[in-house]
Amino acid sequence: MINVSLHGRGGQGIKTASHIIGTAAFLSGSYVQDQPLYGAERRGAPISAYVRISRQPILERGTIENPSLQVISDDSLLESAADNPLEKIRESTVVLINTSLTKSDLASKYSLKNPLIVFDLAKFDPEIISRPTLGIAVAAATCRTLEMDFDLVRQSMIKELSGIHLDKDDIAMSIDLAKRVYDMVTHGETVMEVSGIRESGIFEMKFHNPAVSTCSITATGNSMLRERGRWSGFQPIIDYERCTKCMICYVYCPDSAYTFDSKGYPVVNYDACKGCNICQTECPVKVITLVKRNKT
């Protein structure tokens, strides 16, 4: 059985990516199981999804602890100790990651001994890869790494994207993007199969008093202490020559990343901005553009 673990951020299309990979494997004749895992839906927050692929019926359930292939769609996840998907993986796990770093730089920076496959989606138009189509690109790269025929990927994409009511033109554009990414990725690493069901111990569920076991919040708010600036590879830049000071960006920002200077112009707090693109979408005069975030 091949276990695939995918990690990205909310809004990137990681759940859709897992469905595309799973359906392509199913069309190849394999037994498949795929599932996403995330908490409250929040754009930019870490999200994971899991795909199991086997020639035998799959009896195992739950998250994948020892993946054959670890897929990381956003290298900003590696900067957070709480979100780092490379923690506790085996050295034999193949790591497929979207990053501008080279293999040697990546291995050196994060002390990795794993087989690495890197692809850099920054080579594509930021307007394309900052939208949920990033998940489509990740799915294509994953299928290439698993040596799936692209015709299966194409059939899978038509099925899955039609299911979420994309029109024919959008599906055709998505398939074109997937083919370019598929051809760009050079796998060169063998994804090893893992044994079936793992042995589990017996867990005793002890009784806890409701005062302890319920989610009672007694501390003051601390969400502003969480810097969300690393949640995206892109950040908004305002053209102040054309800005009308309409305050729409301030109103729509879900993370209160906007304030105003003494002249009434909007100012972005990039430590609080998670790059959700809502301000760019809602700006009535289109003076906000996305640029690649400098993570150094």
Who wins on pLDDT, 185 or 52? Answer: 52
Is 282 a member of any domain? yes
Of 184, 203, 238, at which residue does a domain stop?
184
Quick one: pLDDT band at residue 44, thresholds 50, 70, 90? confident
Residue 264 has pLDDT above 70, yes or no: yes
167 and 72 co-located in one domain: yes
Domain interval for residue 13: 2-184
Length of the chain: 296
Is 204 a member of any domain? no
Q: What is the pLDDT of residue 236?
A: 93
Pairing status of strand 116-119 against strand 288-292: unpaired
Quick one: pLDDT band at residue 243, thresholds 50, 70, 90? very high
Q: What is the pLDDT of residue 78?
A: 84
Tokens, residue 296: 């150094």
Is 247 a member of any domain? yes
Who wins on pLDDT, 44 or 13? Answer: 13
Quick one: pLDDT band at residue 47, thresholds 50, 70, 90? confident
Quick one: pLDDT band at residue 195, thresholds 50, 70, 90? low
23 and 133 co-located in one domain: yes
**Residues 104-121: what's their mean pLDDT?**
88
- Say which amino acid occupies 187: H
Nearest Cα to 240, choosing from 294, 282, 283? 283
Quick one: pLDDT band at residue 249, thresholds 50, 70, 90? very high
47 and 128 co-located in one domain: yes
Note whether 52 and 64 are within 8 A (CB).
Answer: yes
**For the chain, what is the mean pLDDT?**
83
Is 54 a member of any domain? yes
Q: What is the pLDDT of residue 126?
A: 57
Residue 267 has pLDDT above 70, yes or no: yes
44 and 125 co-located in one domain: yes
163 and 234 co-located in one domain: no
Note whether 2 and 145 are within 8 A (CB).
Answer: no
180 and 232 co-located in one domain: no
For residue 250, the 8-state DSSP code is H
23 and 113 co-located in one domain: yes
**Residues 35-49: what's their mean pLDDT?**
79
The domain that holds 248 is classified in CATH as 3.30.70.20
Nearest Cα to 70, choosing from 106, 90, 95, 87? 95
Nearest Cα to 27, choosing from 49, 53, 3? 53
Q: What is the pLDDT of residue 52?
A: 94
Residue 69 has pLDDT above 90, yes or no: yes
178 and 252 co-located in one domain: no
Q: How many CB atoms lie within 10 A of CB 168?
A: 10
**Residues 204-233: what's their mean pLDDT?**
63
For residue 129, the 8-state DSSP code is H
Q: What is the pLDDT of residue 83?
A: 72
44 and 179 co-located in one domain: yes
Of 153, 184, 215, at which residue does a domain stop?
184
C-alpha–C-alpha distance, residues 248 and 93, integer Å: 46
Residue 125 has pLDDT above 60, yes or no: no
Q: Give the C-alpha distances (Å, rounded to integers) separating 19 from 22, 135, 138, 139, 286.
A: 5, 10, 12, 9, 34
Tokens, residue 89: 């993986």
User: 């501008």: which residue's tokens?
Assistant: 100
Q: What is the pLDDT of residue 277?
A: 85
105 and 39 co-located in one domain: yes
Note whether 93 and 66 are within 8 A (CB).
Answer: yes
**pLDDT more than 70, % of the chain:** 80
Quick one: pLDDT band at residue 40, thresholds 50, 70, 90? low
> Domains in the chain: how many in total?
2
For residue 284, the 8-state DSSP code is T
Q: What is the pLDDT of residue 31?
A: 94
Strand partners, 259: 267
Is 36 a member of any domain? yes
Q: What is the pLDDT of residue 276?
A: 83
Is 79 a member of any domain? yes
The domain that holds 91 is classified in CATH as 3.40.920.10
56 and 109 co-located in one domain: yes
Q: How far apart are the first and last CA of the chain?
A: 39
Is 211 a member of any domain? no
